[in-house]
Amino acid sequence: MSRSTPLSPDQTRPPGSGRVVVVGDVLDDIIVIPEKAPTPGTDTGATIQHRAGGAAANTAAWLGSLGVEVDFVGRVGSSDVQRHSQLLVNAGVTPRLGYGPNDHTGTVVIQVDGAARTMLTDRGASAALDLGTVTDDLVVGAAIVHLTGYSIVHSRSPVAYRRLVSRVRAAGALVSIDPASSGFIAEFGPDAFLDLVEGADLFFPNLDEGRILTGLDDPDDIVRALQPRFGVVALTRPGGSAVVARAGGKLVHAASSATRFLDPIGAGDAFAAGFLCGWMSSPSVALAARKGTKLAALAYTIVGGRPSR
């Protein structure tokens, strides 16, 4: 099986265009913040809010908030195309949403407990996203094509992902991957997932995903284990800090700048957006990570996974 080869450190600066194409999930989030630990069999007071979400769409929205030119490719229910398109436009994103007559928009119920969260997910239309719908017109001229693991794990065939990567490479753009879910990766198989995405130029696991993928516990050890497979590994940690390294390079520790922790949803998506924006300006892991942690800190102060506008 042929695998994509990451670009060398000198090649991992994207081409002149500052445009990013984000591919993956767009969902409706139902966010539940209990007033206290829920008591089984009776009522528990809670703050419940509805927000647009999905890791990929969140990342696109954060990129848009930074003024980055960004296209988003996803899939929603037929009755929600206009609503989700407008929400993305409001976030500075060009939406390219597919749908089918029997599709319903995916929904996730998220229970927040401090920095922890529990998610119950119905991926709906996002599970039917076909990576083949990412057209050559979108890929050509892009600096980076960023995908979430949901779209890879649930793609109709690994062949679709490999074909997309080949087209991205041929266009001279970078491939960026956010695993996005430790649960789905565990079901797919950590080794199978790594074999499929190996060679991506930029890889954004969080700590839980890194532990599933490597079987290791320590963040530094996880990054070292993943380094040979990717051009750059940027591991996010609870609280907004990160450990980042190029393939074969020294580890860089980026401290969190967060001072207020209202909601952890979207912090990792914001980090990825900040990192990508910084990387397009200057391919320095330290500078890009600093921009990522700064945006993640802002995400912690907002209920929901997207920036407020």
Domain segments of the chain as ranges = 13-25+53-106+124-299
Record the tokens describing residue 276, joined without a space. 């990508």
Record the tokens describing residue 154, joined without a space. 């649930």
Q: How is residue 131 annotated by DSSP? A: G
Q: What are the pLDDT digits (tens) for 143-173?
A: 999 999 988 877 656 889 999 999 999 999 9
Task: Report the first-to-last Cα separation within the chain, whole angstroms.
Answer: 45
Is the CATH number of domain 13-25+53-106+124-299 2.30.30.140? Answer: no
Record the tokens describing residue 74, joined without a space. 């996803």
Provide the percentage of residues in the chain whose pLDDT is more than 70. Answer: 93
Among the listed residues 303, 300, 256, 299, the one whose alpha carbon sits nearest the alpha carbon of residue 59: 299
pLDDT tens digit at each of 309 positions of the chain = 335 555 443 444 444 468 999 999 999 999 999 999 888 999 999 999 999 999 999 999 999 999 999 999 999 999 999 999 999 999 999 999 999 888 999 999 999 887 677 889 999 999 999 999 999 999 999 999 999 998 887 765 688 999 999 999 999 999 999 998 888 899 899 999 999 999 999 999 999 999 999 999 999 999 999 999 999 999 999 999 999 999 999 999 999 989 998 888 899 999 999 999 999 999 999 999 999 999 999 999 999 999 986
Grouping H, G, I as helix, E, B as strand and the rest as coil, residue 51 is: strand
Residues in the chain: 309
Q: What are the pLDDT digits (tens) for 42-53?
A: 999 999 999 999
Secondary-structure breakdown of the chain: helix, strand, coil percentages, each rounded to the nearest 5? 40, 25, 35
Cβ–Cβ under 8 Å, residues 201 and 13: no
Gap between the Cα atoms of 127 and 67, Å rounded:
29
- Give residue 251's pLDDT: 98
- Give residue 112's pLDDT: 86
Record the tokens describing residue 150, joined without a space. 């949901």
The contacts of residue 280 (CB under 8 Å, 6+ apart) are 14, 18, 20, 68, 143, 144
Gap between the Cα atoms of 152 and 162, Å rounded:
10
The contacts of residue 304 (CB under 8 Å, 6+ apart) are 29, 31, 49, 51, 52, 53, 263, 265, 266
Q: How is residue 206 annotated by DSSP? A: B
Cβ–Cβ under 8 Å, residues 231 and 247: yes
- Give residue 156's pLDDT: 59
Q: Is the pTM of this model over 0.75?
A: yes
- Give residue 2's pLDDT: 39
